């Protein structure tokens, strides 16, 4: 029923190879012929069969995206950006949700491996060694994790955590708590490491509470422990937990920010909607999604075709596999959930510490529509480390 290349060839009186070239290498075919073919194709509603193309070229033009939990509002912007970026490059994105289950991650990589040109592994909870092993099966780009030898794009939460701690100590807090995230999270380790260091520098105490599930519930459940810790300010693994914590503290009769300050991480859309509005570390999720797609595509672009007739093609000298690791900057967004602490300097009014980020449109995703500049993503990432 659907028109094939042969139908088009017949209709336009040329050989199928000419039709093929009309689409995949237009410069090789006479403009006149080309137009005729194009017209016939249009006429018949012909669209190249990607399965057949994939079979011979060895490239599926599909990308797998493995996510811990789509329902976590942190991910949708990333997905959206990745999908849009991929589409521009004529790729499609397979999405898969692991429900925060490390075993599911492995299964999914296997399941996707033969069907995609590469996989984006987002905040994986697997072990490094397993990730490395899987990367021999299919090109991988890791997001929010550093695995030696693998291309990665990470958000600099370490820096963010430092900024957050400095913000809090600057407000006069001396007793801090860190609400940890899930076990196995690279991000969690980074935050902890950086927050601990920053607290020490500022001569403040920091209690680490966790690990916890990275959800609102995880935050609610820890309210009591946070109170007992005696901390006057807490940094949470992510916004969801921060919001949950505020909720939990509220039912304990503790007011935020008057009694206790709370800082989240991620700057999900939701953090602007709760009361109080959440002070948080903004992570460039959309940029991360775009960048990851770009890295994957550029990376396996150098593979060229792994198939092709004789297969005897000489591998290009460019086989050095530049596995870059890109670090995206984060930034502190001060809103209403942080206030002065016990050791605050007298001349510092609480209100002075609150100022939302100026011109940030509510959920605009620059570059997700049409004309996105490919250089855009990396332009936002001054710090690029090639390994």
Q: Which stretch binds its own copies (CB under 8 A): 35-43, 95-103, 319-327, 332-340?
A: 95-103
The Cα–Cα gap between 101 and 359 comes to 38
Site string for its own copies, 296-325 (x = CB under 8 A): ----------x-------------------
Contacts of 364 (CB under 8 A, 6+ apart): none
Residue from 52, 71, 350, 364 that binds DNA (CB under 7 A)?
52
- Regarding 91 and contact with DNA (CB under 7 A), the answer is no
Q: Which stretch binds its own copies (CB under 8 A): 109-117, 159-167, 312-320, 374-382?
A: 109-117
Site string for its own copies, 233-252 (x = CB under 8 A): ----------x---x-----
Contacts of 214 (CB under 8 A, 6+ apart): 72, 100, 181, 182, 185, 237, 238, 240, 241
Instruction: Pick the closer one to its own copies by CB: 101 or 331.
Output: 101
Tokens linked to 42? 């249009």
Q: Where are the alpha helices (DSSP H) in the chain?
A: 5-12, 16-24, 31-44, 50-57, 75-88, 102-113, 128-134, 157-170, 186-201, 216-221, 223-229, 239-251, 285-301, 374-379
- Regarding 362 and contact with its own copies (CB under 8 A), the answer is yes
Site string for DNA, 296-325 (x = CB under 7 A): ---------x-xxxxx-x------------
Distance in Å, CB of 45 to its own copies, minimum:
8
Tokens linked to 184? 């196995």
Q: Is the dihedral of CA 237, 239, 240, 242 positive or negative?
A: positive
User: Are the C-beta atoms of residues 229 and 177 closer than 8 Å to each other?
Assistant: yes
Q: Which stretch binds its own copies (CB under 8 A): 145-153, 163-171, 328-336, 357-365?
A: 357-365
Site string for its own copies, 47-66 (x = CB under 8 A): xxxxxx-xx----x-x----
Q: Is 102 helix (H, G, I), strand (E, B) or coil?
A: helix
- Residue 77: count other Cβ atoms within 10 Å of its Cβ: 23
Instruction: Pick the closer one to DNA by CB: 41 or 199.
Output: 41
Q: Is 74 helix (H, G, I), strand (E, B) or coil?
A: coil
Q: Under the phi-then-psi rule, with left for phi > 0, alpha for psi from -120 to 50, and beta for the rest, what region is 367?
A: left
The Cα–Cα gap between 82 and 290 comes to 5
Judged by CB under 7 A, the chain residues 26 through 45 that form the site for DNA are 28-34
- Regarding 97 and contact with its own copies (CB under 8 A), the answer is yes
Peptide bond into 276 cis (omega under 30): yes
Q: Which stretch binds its own copies (CB under 8 A): 41-49, 181-189, 322-330, 351-359?
A: 41-49
Among DNA, its own copies, none, the one that 71 touches (CB under a kind-dependent 5 to 8 A) is its own copies
Tokens linked to 312? 């005897």
Q: Is the dihedral of CA 153, 157, 160, 162 positive or negative?
A: negative
What count of Cα atoms within 13 Å lies in the side-chain half-sphere of residue 144?
Answer: 29
Distance in Å, CB of 121 to DNA, minimum:
24
Q: Which stretch binds its own copies (CB under 8 A): 6-14, 163-171, 228-236, 364-372?
A: 364-372
Contacts of 74 (CB under 8 A, 6+ apart): 238, 239, 240, 266, 268, 283, 285
What count of Cα atoms within 13 Å lies in the side-chain half-sphere of residue 297?
Answer: 21
Instruction: Pick the closer one to its own copies by CB: 172 or 219.
Output: 219
Instruction: Pick the closer one to its own copies by CB: 96 or 202.
Output: 96
Instruction: Pick the closer one to its own copies by CB: 189 or 272.
Output: 272
What residues pair up with 175 in beta bridges, in sequence order? Answer: 205
Distance in Å, CB of 31 to DNA, minimum:
7
Judged by CB under 8 A, the chain residues 261 through 300 that form the site for its own copies are 269-270, 273-275
Q: Which residues bind its own copies (CB under 8 A)?
A: 1-2, 45, 47-52, 54-55, 60, 62, 69-71, 73, 75-77, 79-80, 83-84, 87, 92-97, 99, 110-115, 137, 215-217, 243, 247, 269-270, 273-275, 306, 362-363, 365, 368-369
Q: Which residues bind DNA (CB under 7 A)?
A: 2, 4-6, 13-18, 20-21, 23-25, 28-34, 46-49, 52-53, 55-57, 305, 307-311, 313
């Amino acid at each position: 029923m659907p028109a094939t290349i042969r139908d088009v060839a017949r209709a336009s009186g040329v050989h199928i190879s000419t039709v093929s070239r009309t689409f995949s290498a237009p410069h090789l075919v006479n403009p006149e012929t080309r137009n005729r073919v194009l017209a016939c194709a249009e006429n018949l509603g012909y669209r190249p069969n990607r399965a057949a193309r994939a079979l011979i070229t060895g490239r599926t033009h599909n990308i797998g995206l493995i996510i811990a939990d789509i329902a976590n509002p942190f991910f949708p912007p990333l997905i959206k950006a990745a999908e849009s970026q991929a589409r521009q490059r004529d790729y499609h994105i397979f999405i898969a949700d692991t429900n925060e289950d490390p075993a599911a991650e492995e299964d999914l990589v296997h399941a996707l491996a033969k069907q995609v040109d590469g996989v984006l592994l987002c905040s994986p909870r697997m072990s490094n060694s397993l990730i490395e092993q899987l990367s021999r099966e299919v090109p991988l780009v890791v997001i929010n994790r550093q695995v030696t030898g693998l291309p990665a794009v990470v958000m600099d939460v370490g820096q963010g955590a430092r900024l957050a701690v400095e913000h809090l100590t600057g407000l006069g807090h001396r007793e801090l708590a860190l609400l940890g995230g899930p076990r196995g999270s690279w991000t969690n380790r980074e935050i902890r490491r950086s927050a601990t260091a920053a607290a020490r520098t500022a001569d403040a105490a920091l209690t680490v509470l966790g690990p916890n599930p990275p959800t609102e519930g995880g935050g609610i459940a820890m309210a009591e422990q946070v109170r007992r810790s005696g901390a006057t300010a807490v940094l949470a693994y992510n916004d969801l937990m921060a919001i949950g914590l505020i909720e939990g503290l509220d039912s304990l009769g503790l007011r935020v920010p008057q009694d206790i300050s709370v800082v989240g991480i991620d700057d999900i859309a939701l953090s602007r909607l709760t009361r109080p509005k959440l002070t948080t570390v903004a992570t460039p999720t959309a940029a991360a999604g775009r960048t990851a797609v770009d890295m994957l595509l550029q990376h396996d672009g150098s593979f060229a075709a792994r198939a092709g007739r004789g297969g005897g093609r000489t591998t290009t000298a460019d086989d050095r596999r530049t596995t870059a690791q890109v670090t995206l900057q984060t930034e502190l967004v001060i809103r209403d959930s942080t206030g002065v602490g016990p050791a605050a300097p007298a001349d510092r009014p609480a209100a002075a510490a609150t100022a939302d980020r100026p011109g940030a449109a509510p959920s605009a995703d620059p570059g997700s529509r049409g004309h996105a500049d490919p250089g855009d993503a990396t332009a936002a990432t001054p710090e690029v480390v090639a390994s």
